[in-house]
């Protein structure tokens, strides 16, 4: 039962962790929940942000830091947004050019974050010689990369340069020597390895096990106008997310995501980053099982605090970040599916490296 008939426009980027939306469309889960959804595959995060801001999308798969930056007025074209659920945990890898990766990996096995960081520090030239790239200035990738570098005694602002490159272009940038490494979601680390230009030296899940990755961000005014539609969309995404978490569904899901309309790379590279996948070049996503989709206020606080740490958000904005996350909406949708709701006032334990 929903509030109106116009299709809900949801934006996404060609990444493995858009899986719940793609599956919900393909398996008719949106339709089963009585909601018409039109998926808009966008070429950049900036497009998603602009279209959300100007009402051309109702919601999107979102980088939480970008969503917070928009909602708190850090990015012009600000927009009141809500985050009613998380969409995935983990999923990014830090990839270095082969010659650097060989030093960090040494015997081939992926080392612990502290060991990898220490080895990378040993390779640094003096000055900002190492050129790394992330997918957006306000991204989980940027914050986790900086967190790891800083914990390893590498100053992310002085010892390295961090630029922004779209995920699908990372392997080519590495191949052409424009960068020395990157942090991006799957399958792009796997693609870099496949074409022989680099190797993953660390997964984001090693920096923060089960870290929040993408979230669902929706326009606050739309959520207010169409509360039943929002719950229907969330129910569909929770059900789809649970299916995505079942390794038995991974082959079909990989084929689906491999279509040119979505990620457009061979299914095996995508399957590697889905639950049950194998290999060290990509991290593996977790979607909705075991409370993975709960939008913990503590997560919003962590993102905001890290953004403030690197000067990307004023302290007063950080204090308002928590209110963007809406576990009450998650609870409303999860309850109707019989999914458990944890006590979100608990801090959500990230103790760091």
Partner 1 sequence: MKVLLIDSEAERAGIVEAHLAGAGATEVVRPEPGEALPDAVARSNPDVVIVDMARADRDALDGIRRVADETPRPIVMFVDDDDPAFMEAAISAGVSSYTVVGVEVPDVKPIVRAAVAMFRRYHLVEQELARARSSLRERAVIDRAKSLLIRTRRMSEPEAHRWLRRQAMERSRRIAEIAAEFVASVNHEGDGTANNKPGNTGEETTNDR
The CB-of-99 to partner 1 minimum distance in angstroms stands at 23
CB of 193 to partner 1, least distance (A): 21
Can residue 52 be called a binding residue for partner 1 (CB under 8 A)? no
- Compute how many residues bind partner 1; rule: CB under 8 A: 30
Determine which residue in the list 30, 45, 262, 296 makes contact with partner 1, applying CB under 8 A. Answer: 45
The reply to whether 97 sits near partner 1 by the rule CB under 8 A is: no
Contact with partner 1 (CB under 8 A): which of 17, 25, 33, 50? 50
The residue within the footprint of partner 1, chosen from 55, 129, 153, 196 (CB under 8 A), is 55
- Quote the CA–CA distance of 24 and 12 in Å, as a whole number: 13
Of 18, 72, 101, 135, the one binding partner 1 (CB under 8 A) is 135
Dihedral of alpha carbons 312, 143, 159, 95, sign? negative
Cβ-based nearer residue to partner 1, 262 or 330: 262
Q: Copy the structure tokens of residue 336.
A: 């109707």
In the complex, the smallest distance separating the C-beta of residue 342 from partner 1, rounded to whole angstroms, is 34
Q: Is the dihedral of CA 101, 163, 68, 339 positive or negative?
A: negative
175 binds partner 1 (CB under 8 A): no
Among 116, 350, 87, 128, CA closest to 238: 87
Which of 44, 289 has the CB closer to partner 1? 44
Least distance from C-beta 178 to partner 1, angstroms?
Answer: 8
> Of residues 153-172, which lie at the interface with partner 1 (CB under 8 A)?
157, 163-166, 168-169
Give the C-alpha separation, 348 to 94, whole Å. Answer: 24
Does the protein bind partner 1 through residue 80 (CB under 8 A)? no
| Least CB distance to partner 1 at residue 17 (A) | 17
Tell me how far apart the alpha carbons of residues 238 and 297 are, in angstroms, rounded to a whole number: 19
Nearest approach in angstroms of CB 50 to partner 1 is 6
b/e map of 184-196 (b: 16 or more CB within 10 Å)?
Answer: bbbbbbbbbbeee
Q: Of the candidates 6, 31, 32, 54, which one interacts with partner 1 according to CB under 8 A?
A: 54
Per CB under 8 A, the list member of 108, 311, 338, 352 interacting with partner 1 is: 311
Give yes or no for residue 315 binding partner 1 (CB under 8 A): no
Tell me which residues touch partner 1 (CB under 8 A). Answer: 43-47, 49-51, 53-56, 75-78, 135-138, 157, 163-166, 168-169, 178, 311-312
């Amino acid at each position: 039962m929903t509030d109106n008939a116009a299709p809900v426009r949801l934006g996404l980027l060609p990444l493995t962790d858009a899986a719940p939306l793609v599956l919900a469309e393909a398996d008719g889960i949106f339709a089963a929940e009585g909601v018409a959804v039109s998926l808009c595959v966008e070429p950049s995060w900036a497009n998603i942000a602009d279209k959300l801001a100007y009402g051309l999308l109702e919601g999107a798969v979102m980088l939480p830091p970008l969503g917070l930056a928009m909602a708190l007025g850090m990015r012009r074209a600000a927009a009141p947004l809500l985050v009613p659920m998380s969409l995935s945990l983990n999923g990014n890898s830090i990839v270095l050019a082969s010659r650097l990766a060989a030093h960090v990996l040494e015997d081939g096995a992926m080392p612990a974050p502290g060991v990898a960081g220490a080895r990378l520090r040993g390779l640094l030239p003096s000055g900002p010689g190492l050129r790394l790239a992330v997918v957006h200035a306000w991204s989980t990738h940027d914050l986790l990369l900086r967190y790891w570098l800083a914990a390893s005694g590498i100053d992310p602002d002085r010892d390295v340069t961090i630029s922004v490159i779209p995920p699908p272009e990372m392997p080519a940038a590495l191949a052409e020597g424009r960068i020395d490494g990157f942090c991006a979601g799957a399958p792009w680390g796997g693609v870099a390895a496949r074409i022989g230009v680099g190797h993953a030296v660390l997964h984001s899940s090693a920096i923060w096990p089960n870290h929040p990755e993408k979230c669902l961000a929706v326009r606050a005014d739309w959520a207010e106008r169409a509360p039943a539609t929002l719950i229907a969309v969330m129910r569909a995404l929770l059900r789809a997310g649970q299916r995505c978490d079942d390794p038995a569904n991974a082959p079909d899901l990989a084929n689906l995501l491999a279509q040119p309309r979505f990620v457009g790379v061979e299914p095996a590279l995508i399957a590697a980053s889905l639950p049950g996948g194998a290999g060290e070049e990509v991290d593996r996503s977790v979607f909705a099982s075991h409370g993975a989709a709960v939008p913990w206020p503590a997560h919003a606080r962590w993102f905001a605090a890290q953004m403030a740490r690197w000067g990307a958000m004023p302290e007063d904005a950080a204090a308002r970040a928590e209110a963007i996350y809406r576990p009450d909406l998650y609870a409303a949708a999860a309850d109707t599916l019989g999914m458990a709701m944890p006590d979100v006032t608990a801090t959500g334990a990230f103790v760091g490296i």
